[in-house]
Amino acid sequence: MKAFKNHFVFEFKTGIRDKNLLLLNYLFPLGLYIMLGFLMKNINPDFMEIIIPSMVVISILISTILGLPDPLVKSREAGIFRSYKINGVPATSIVVIPPLTTIMHMIVVAIIIIPTAFTMFDAPLPQNWLYFILIFLLIAFISAGLGVLIGVASSSSRATILWSQLIFLPSMIIGGFFIPQNLLPDILKKIGILLPSTHAINLFRYYSYNQSIGYNPVWSLVILIVGGILSFGLAIYLFNWDNQNKTRRGHPAFAFFAIIPLIIGAIFLP
Amino acid sequence: MKDTVVEVNKLRKAYGDLVAVDDISFNVEKGEIFGLLGPNGAGKTTTFECLEGLRKPDGGTFKLMGESPNYNYSNLRSTIGVQLQTSGLPDSMRVDEAMNFFSAYHNVTSRYDLLERLGLREKMGTQYHTLSTGLKRRLSLALALAHNPPILFLDEPTAGLDVQSRVELHNMMKELQESGTTILLATHDMAEAEKTATRVAILLRGKIITTGTPHEITASGAGLTKISVRVEGSSLSIPNIIFSNVTQYLSKDEYKIYFSTNPGKTVSSIIEYISRQKDSLIDLRVERPSLEDRFLEITNKKVRK
């Protein structure tokens, strides 16, 4: 327990000490929030109705999908995990603790966004706080899972950028933040439903803001929960201690199994 | 009765077509400093990494403290301490945090005394990425020793260390040996091995070429002992003086240098000759072939083959 606590505290501090992580955990999400808050107020008033859940989800995507993979790849390349292995640090701790500390940073960011959006931009507060918190944790869970899975399965830092952007950029454009999903062409709607952010925004709309989403939200709940469990399970299964060791338990391509629930959702949901 | 703590039997590891470790076998007794010597690429690090559980061997068996790990090292983490040749810590991890971090995983109290002993006291709050190479290696050693392991693996431990730190490390190794710790040392620094190791194995192209104490290995070669003599007069200036067992000689500065196959007999005959010539001896030095000389002799012979 003491080891876990030490590891957790160290990783939490790293999220602030490391300039790249500080940028991705705090500066970029909060800077983007301030910018979008002032910009969208005049050009997209609909966005201001859901600015709180949108900015919370965007912050989560930035810190998890963009922030989690690269340190994992660099640590593996620099032989840090070899040091961990010979000193008895379990692989599970390496895979689980960084996402947990990242979620802690996200909670801090959400605590900054919620009251300031309410006071600065007249953003409506969630009508059901319990659901808001649970959905926040759920999207953080699957995003963190995908983040570590990208880090574990990627062969290099360059590959992590590719895979991370493949999730992050479409999420920003068709992930339900700026353009309501029902206004998208059918094909983009289908692609959008492949993204965890779309499900998260739909869940926030339905459970926290009492808005209609056009399908049973339980499906989104199931997709995010199963996707998160698969992501973490595969990340632990595919974890490799060092780049030189070619013997690994499964092919990195197994990582694609994590998106099966999202693909099923895209096929069957309207 | 000997207490074997490391038993390696026909260990083999290949990377594709390259056989890095080729059916090597050796034993290490409790309290020994066992040096694995060899040029770069000889297979020293791969051998260590197999024993440390970082790589899965392709063949052979080994036991540490009588137990075969079978690639499940969870029960052996407290048994071995490892200073890797190439390893790292997170850039932002401070020296004291590293000690706390790994000590907690070993379930022992943090050994700040080791940090002090290794000259890291002033650097407790310093982040890893700002430490010099030498300080990083010292920290790595402190972390390897923190849980007081009975077997210690040191892979090129003095690379990047200054002279003072090397001496301190060698003293520490001797102290650890005296307290019963078994040390496996991989190095290509022959002087270090000769000074510290109780036994050495010379590894070349994945195979052990020879094993023994440094003295046994140096004595087994055809190496010639170098005898340097300086006299007051000119008794040795006469060319073609033949001393027993001398195969070649040369002059350098004011010294006459003889290479002998039997230094005892040669020195006696030189002294006798000088005395007979009523000359006086100013300086006489006898230098046995070093481990490095013998290592070069062995490896050159093998490379030529």
Between positions 63 and 82 of B, the ones with CB within 8 A of A are: 74, 77-78, 80, 82
In this prediction, residue B88 carries a pLDDT of: 85
Question: Is pLDDT of A23 > 90?
Answer: yes
Q: Is B36 helix (H, G, I), strand (E, B) or coil?
A: strand
Nearest C-alpha in B relative to A20:
B92
Question: Is pLDDT of A157 > 90?
Answer: no
Q: Taking residues B244-248, what's their average pLDDT?
A: 80
Per-chain mean pLDDT for chain B: 86
- Residue B93 contacts A where some CB pair is shorter than 8 Å: yes
In this prediction, residue A246 carries a pLDDT of: 61
Residue B78: count of CB within 10 angstroms of its CB: 15
Q: Do B84 and A242 touch (CB under 8 A)?
A: no
**Residues of chain A with C-beta less than 8 angstroms from the C-beta of B100:** 6
Q: Is B31 helix (H, G, I), strand (E, B) or coil?
A: coil
Nearest C-alpha in A relative to B57:
A247
Q: A26: pLDDT confidence band, cut at 50, 70 and 90?
A: very high
Q: Do A245 and B55 touch (CB under 8 A)?
A: yes
Q: Do A80 and B104 touch (CB under 8 A)?
A: no
Q: What is the dihedral of CA A103, A107, A113, A119, to 10 degrees?
A: 170
Question: Is pLDDT of B104 > 60?
Answer: yes
Question: Is pLDDT of B34 > 80?
Answer: yes
**Residue ranges of chain A whose CB lies within 8 Å of a chain B CB:** 2-3, 5-7, 10, 13-14, 17-18, 75, 78-80, 82-83, 85-89, 241-242, 245, 247
Helices H / strands E in chain B, number of each: 9, 13
The interface pTM score, or ipTM, of the predicted complex is 0.85
% of chain A exceeding 70 in pLDDT: 98
Closest-CA distance of chain B to residue A226, Å: 31
Closest-CA distance of chain B to residue A168, Å: 26
**Residues of chain A with C-beta less than 8 angstroms from the C-beta of B110:** none
- State the helix-helix crossing angle for A91-121 and A218-238, rounded to 10 degrees: 140
% of chain B exceeding 70 in pLDDT: 93
Closest residue by Cα to residue B146 from B64, B217, B77:
B77
Closest residue by Cα to residue A260 from A217, A231, A240:
A231
Between positions 282 and 301 of B, the ones with CB within 8 A of A are: none
In this prediction, residue B210 carries a pLDDT of: 87
Question: Is pLDDT of B75 > 80?
Answer: no
Minimum mean pLDDT among B218-227, B229-238, B254-263: which range?
B218-227
In this prediction, residue B243 carries a pLDDT of: 84
Is the pTM for the entire model greater than 0.90?
A: no
| CA B188 to centroid of chain Cα atoms | 7
Of B53, B91, B101, the CB nearest to A10: B101
Q: Taking residues B205-217, what's their average pLDDT?
A: 88
Q: Do A10 and B93 touch (CB under 8 A)?
A: yes
In this prediction, residue A109 carries a pLDDT of: 97
A–B interface: beta-carbon pairs under 8 A: 73
Q: Taking residues A35-60, what's their average pLDDT?
A: 91
Minimum mean pLDDT among A133-147, B124-138, B286-300: which range?
B286-300
Question: Is pLDDT of B1 > 60?
Answer: no
